[in-house]
Amino acid sequence: MAIAQQHYFITGVSSGIGKALAQQLCAAGHKVSGVARRKAQLDELAATYDSFKGYGCDVTDEAAMNQAVGEAIDHHGAIDVVIPNAGIYQPQPAGHIEPDAFVHHMNVNYFAVIHCLAAILPQMQARNQGHIALMASVAGYRGLPRSAAYGPTKAALINFAESLRFDLSDTNIKLQVINPGFVETEATAVNDFDMPDLITAETAASEIIAGLKTDQFEISFPKSFVRKMKWLKLMPDKLYFTVVKKMTKA
């Protein structure tokens, strides 16, 4: 039985979860427009999959994002699903604030998502049809050691997704938020501590694709780790700080 082919627009496809998503979706017969800064990785995906089209773009550049979206629509047609996945992570203790690092995290992880949706959402609204899946993280649940620059960007995305869900509730535009735990990527490779329940980018992509087919608001995984994080989220402050400090040896 043939699948219903869809057009996916995904940012950050040069490596990690974004690349794995592009590979698995193309292999399943979908059309993928992928955004990344590294041209060689885009060319590699395009050489492997006829249904992939890459766009070299700095996601923090609003004009460049608008152009990439326009060219993607011209090439593959209307965008059915958008996954603004591009993001960065650099350990940053709050006790040693480097303002440029904090601003850069917010520009890439949050404002780039806004640029992406500003270009795509009006067209989905005009068609009263579409699917948005925002890439956040369980790190956005509560503050964590050395996550002072990264965590707030993911908390902002979760809050934004919740707000946008209300605004789109009377439309045919589906809105989901993706909250992974630790995933083996270039970003997490900088961590010098044991990452519990670490999964591969390929496993994460499979979890996301399965979650996109459901009606649940939050796509979160791996389940055992997410349960622990949600338990910590509900803890009283005093107990939370004590437990997390002991767990992370912060």
CB 185 within 8 A of CB 202: no
C-alpha–C-alpha distance, residues 152 and 94, integer Å: 11
Bridge partners (DSSP) of residue 35 are 11, 55
Catalytic (active site) residue 110: no
Other CB atoms closer than 10 Å to residue 166's CB: what's the count? 9
CB 139 within 8 A of CB 239: no
Catalytic-role residue among 8, 89, 141, 150? 150
The residues assigned a catalytic role are 150
